Structure 1
Amino acid sequence: MSVSEPPRRLLASIHDVGPRFEAEIDRLAEGFERRLSGPHFAMLVVPDHWSEAPLARDAAFQARLRGWADRGVEMFVHGWSHRDDQRHRGALAAFKARRMTAGEGEFLGLGRAEAARRMRDGRALIEDVIGRPVAGFIAPAWLYGEGAIRALADEGFALAEDHLKVWRPVDGATLVRGPVVSWASRSRARKASSLAFAALARFALRPLPVVRLAVHPGDTTSPALLADIDRTLAAFLADRVPGRYGDLMGK
């Protein structure tokens, strides 16, 4: 008797979820639910975006977050403030902080103890709000320093991801390989390059069993980006099903 192959999956996520971007999150979630036929996506929650939008003080948004979780949306801890307030040592870290994000690589330069504290505080807050365990931790801008990598294992998160993979922090096992498809809205050049990458990815990533796609609140400022996100979702869903990060753990 032949063993059937597991379904090919698309993992979709909305980053920077919190009170600061409520309208933008609504628009992105509505688009995902329409294209994915339900709440088959993840939300990456920031407890206090740039120390200006504390989730702990917004009961209305807390209720909405719990509602999404109750319906099946996976919830990840996405840093604490999403702001990089460190002075980076070393050319590589400085390059990443300067070129790969606009001052938002919060966990790139943190030491192990401080990274663990922010992870722990974020997890406690979000789990209290949604009434269930979080799915994992994903650093802002997908950037991790050595301290953050060690803290991930210390804190026992089930899953983590960066630009190129999803892994299990407790033992470092890689669960998915392949670049995440995302868009950039900060400048005309970044928009153009992200549109070009998405067009390439719609063909180049087809052989992968799991494809990841991520959107951000800033994407809603550009009709061209929104149209391309929808186009990319449709292309990947032609031969795969909406998945959950928990599927990678056999859940």
Structure 2
Amino acid sequence: MMGDASSRQLLVSIHDVTPALADGVHTLWNWCRAHDITPALFVVPNWHGEWPIEAHSTFVEWLRDAEASGADILLHGERHDEVGSPRTWMHEWRALGRTAHEGEFLTLSPHAASARITRGMDRLLALGLNPVGFVPPAWLAPSSTHQVVQTLAQQYPQLRCSEDVEHVHRHHQPHAPAPVVRWSARTEIRARLSDVVARWHRLRLRSTPLVRIALHPQDLAHPITAQSVQHALIHWSRERTTVTYRSICS
């Protein structure tokens, strides 16, 4: 697929959608809409166990409006952090450089993962939201978690997909390769490196059929990453056709 923009697709998502980070979520949403992009919203029902989404009616109403305007809702863990789930050295190696202990599903068994996904789905459905997929925080989870999601789709028919850092896992079609453009603003060095890598991806992924842009409210914490995100949205929206999870996973 090296033809015009219509043959090259773009998935844009805002991660860590929680009332705790509402200002950043709204800023990223507005940036996307300025380029005629309706991003998917990766919702965390109870951020760090301290932000139950049900207690924030204004934010929930905004989510309902966003979904009604075409935004896909995806479940993004139950609480996002790793509290109560100690890592082994193998987990540490797998998560190296990926997250500051925010990989909620990294250490979970299939049974524990299923329980958390079930609770998260039930909470969002009770609020009138309809998640079409599940994405583990930082894309860190055993491969068995994707089978768990597919099994739970029998209980939740709207649950069509999951994803890892390399692919979108579609339940009724082959997995879709989809490299991710992302940023980290945790330190000055990481912010500068993120910008360099994001620019490199514009060349490296030019002919890749499907590319994902993953935005986090925390990207706004450093001016370098904030500006890099804006430049990326301008570039990628001009070069590609924006698609939704619903459209590629139906």
Question: Do Structure 1 and Structure 2 share a fold, with TM-score over 0.5?
Answer: yes
Match of 2:204 in 1: 204
Q: Aligned partners of 1:95, 1:83: CA distance in 2, in Å? A: 17
Does residue 145 of structure 2 align to residue 148 of structure 1? Answer: yes
Q: Aligned partners of 2:195, 2:129: CA distance in 1, in Å? A: 36
Relative distance call for 1:153 and 1:70 in structure 2 (3 A) is: same
Q: Structure 1 stretches (4+) deviating beyond 6 angstroms?
A: none
In structure 2, what residue type is equivalent to 1:109? Answer: T
Does residue 71 of structure 2 align to residue 73 of structure 1? Answer: yes
Identity in percent: 28
Does residue 185 of structure 2 align to residue 188 of structure 1? Answer: no
Match of 1:9 in 2: 9
Aligned-residue offset at 1:5 = 10
Match of 1:30 in 2: 30
Match of 1:249 in 2: 249
Aligned-residue offset at 1:114 = 1.3
Q: Is the 8 A contact 1:45 1:76 kept in 2?
A: yes
**Gapped regions of structure 1 (runs ≥ 5):** none
In structure 1, what residue type is equivalent to 2:209? Answer: P
Match of 1:222 in 2: 222
Q: Is the 8 A contact 2:40 2:74 kept in 1?
A: yes
Match of 1:159 in 2: 161
Match of 2:47 in 1: 49
Alignment of 1:75-154 (within 5 A): 75-85=73-83, 86-89=85-88, 91-129=89-127, 131-154=128-151
Q: Aligned partners of 2:50, 2:184: CA distance in 1, in Å? A: 22
Which SS does the other structure have where 2:74 is aligned?
Answer: strand
Q: Is the 8 A contact 1:110 1:147 kept in 2?
A: no
Aligned-residue offset at 1:223 = 2.2
Alignment deviations for residues 131-156 of structure 1 (CA, whole Å, 9 cap, x no partner): 35312000001111245234222212
What's the TM-score once normalised by structure 1's chain length?
0.89
| Aligned alpha-carbon RMSD (Å) | 2.0
Alignment deviations for residues 41-89 of structure 1 (CA, whole Å, 9 cap, x no partner): 1000000111111102211211111111111111000000001131233
Q: Aligned partners of 1:66, 1:47: CA distance in 2, in Å? A: 14
Q: Aligned partners of 1:50, 1:62: CA distance in 2, in Å? A: 18
Q: Aligned partners of 1:30, 1:17: CA distance in 2, in Å? A: 14
Q: Aligned partners of 2:34, 2:66: CA distance in 1, in Å? A: 15
Which SS does the other structure have where 1:238 is aligned?
Answer: helix
Q: Aligned partners of 1:104, 1:155: CA distance in 2, in Å? A: 23
In structure 2, what residue type is equivalent to 1:140? Answer: P
What's the TM-score once normalised by structure 2's chain length?
0.89
Q: Aligned partners of 2:216, 2:95: CA distance in 1, in Å? A: 18
Match of 2:156 in 1: none
Aligned-residue offset at 1:125 = 1.3
Aligned-residue offset at 1:237 = 2.2
In structure 1, what residue type is equivalent to 2:135? Answer: I
